Structure 1
Amino acid sequence: MSAEPGRAGRWDSAPVLRRILGVVRTLTALDRLLDVLPVLADDMRVETRFAVAAGSEFAANLADELHRSQAQVVDWEQAIGKDFDFAISPSGNGPLHELDVPVLTLPHGAGHHKLRATETGVAEEVSGLSTAQLMHEGRVVPAVVGLSHPSQLAELRRSCPEAVPRAEVIGDPCFARLQVSLPMREQYRAALGTGPRKLVVLASTWGPHSLFRQQGGLAQQLVAALPADYQVALVLHPNVWSRHGGLQLETWLRTALRNGLVLVPRLRKWQAALVAADVVVSDHGSLSFYAAALGKPLLLAAFGTDEVVPGSPMALLGGRAERLDPAGDVRAQIDAARPVPDHQQLADLAFHDNPYQHLRELIYRRLELPEPPWPARPEPVGLFHS
């Protein structure tokens, strides 16, 4: 691929040489993709446009969300044409085989810790590493299968051995951003209006084994049980928002919201709430793993063992973390919450070092462009109100 004339068109005002396609199927995928884009910051040679890959149950209003973000959005027919040099998808699902460019797939949570969801439950395959997601008509679809830790190579070898030559260990950009955000904790708390109060973040993944499904009244219970020097914020997985809609969620949570519950917006705000938190109450979603890996006091109010990959770091978390008993004294339990034992070991088992450097090296190698001269570093997450 030659460096000239590049991708810049007659009416472009930037010297664009390469164009990347960001492929999203859900709000979760978009959230993760927005953690990846900072590796391209300040480089006017590279332009990113986005397309929605149809087929997800949780794709409602996704194109609208992209437009609200002021992203350049193309339809799928344009996406599968010749206008791009590389594609990034935080999911192996969808018609990625239709794309005419090399594709990088990435996990859209804290590693590959869940079994693949099906219409009737879960398959005995690791989500993101299965043959069903990585192969089409006998060929491996992604040019690169991005992993967050070297241990996932063994799982890929079991699940889809044909894809092992395509695997590259990158790390987890989201966790890297959370780590560099910790010194800004007081700023996130100020933006949340927390002040000197003790912030309890209640967080739920999606599906039948999630905290929200199993303990739907817990937010209201916490708001009622905790005195004024506590603040409660609820983070719901984007799939919950997509499935039920904001109006319905606010209706279900009406009393708790009137009594001070903070319902964290569905996109790009949970990270700030997590960094600001004093205690996290969650389930088997990625947020609970990030909380544990950061050393946050954690209580599990639900845990979908049947959805978690046996022997994975998430399964280890489920065996180590204390449980919250909603029938007991919830304030006493929250006050007694502590970081998960050996939480640094959990982080070491799940996340590889220097994800932004690994990711940038990979992308620019695929684009056949020299890397920019400035270092690739993670950025702190945005403030709650930004």
Structure 2
Amino acid sequence: MAPVSISLVLTAAASLVPLAAGSPIAAGDLLPKPVWTLTPTQTTQRFRGLAPVSASTAWVAGTNGTILRTEDGGATWISVGPSPSSSSSSSSSSPNTTSEEAPLEFRDVAAWSPTHAVALSIGEGTASRIYSTTDGGASWTLRFANADPAAFYDCLAFSETEPKHGMVMSDPVDGHFRLLETRDQGLSWQVVSSAESKMPAAREGESGFAASGTCLETKAGRWYLSGGGAAPFGRVFASADDGLTWDSVTETPIPATNASQGVFSVRFRDAAHGIVVGGDFQDPTRSTGTAGWSDDGGVTWSPSSEFPRGYRSGAAWVSGLCPSKGVVAAVAVGPTGSDFTLDGGKTWHGFDDGSFDAVECIGGRVCWASGEKGRVARLVF
């Protein structure tokens, strides 16, 4: 867990095209020109798991068991990942592990401070696991290891208002998306019964995407999960009662005619306004049908009038950007670049061509992004 020595990282600021005094806001009136500033992580691992805590503190989780943490805005990264032989909890669902096991493949991480985090590794069978740390990664405890060969866990999320309440989403098992739930901030996990939760049946071939940690979303006491791979369109499942029942599912405008297509990220800024992004990861430059928006809590979804410039695996809302002008901003990322919207997902504008998998924005209009070849970046609107 020695520090990774890197050069000084600069903070990027967005330049804004001024508005005429008193002019109404429109999609092109206020054009931030954000610039991602890469933070040299001194690694080539791929980071699909991303959890910023503040403008200065963030965690990333990725391939070959790699988890990094920074507390100085990316100027210094520390490697804090667990080994496959990390001790298990007393849960009977957590089998013993050995040092000969394959490296862990982390796809998601949640964090509340520089010391407290929960990380999800993915894979067939027992490769799907959940770890937690309360000492900044000096030690990790295995809290759950999947014992069902039919399950494949994709992403996790924790409630903003009830931080001890979290869920993890798996591809369908016995015809329904499977959920794990914790009520003690990741210390213990239980499978949620699809019958009790009234989870609608999955379509044949429908699954989630472990691409950015955002196939499961929670906002204002509501929960959402997304999928694809089953024609004709990717769908969003919803719970209006904090995850107790999931009796709502709606189609989005994002096509899902094969296993590589669908909704890769669903994000809500409040109980009403949401965006979805996705596309086809095997055809990453195809831009048609890569985003949609909702203003009724996901009851209906409309296609964007101007799409992101290709397949996008992750998206995040940017709060506080010129609220007096009614700007509703979000950022989307993918292997062919980044895009932003100022009108809640109706129109998207490209601003960077670098590859990223995940993006998260926090208070103070600060965004972080992570992806392949050790790429972790930061920008400030």
TM-score between the two structures when normalised by the length of structure 1: 0.26
- Normalized per residue, the structure richer in strand is 2
Rg larger for? 1
- Structure number with the bigger relative contact order (C-alpha 8 A, sep ≥ 6) is 1
**What is the TM-score of this pair, normalised by structure 2?**
0.26
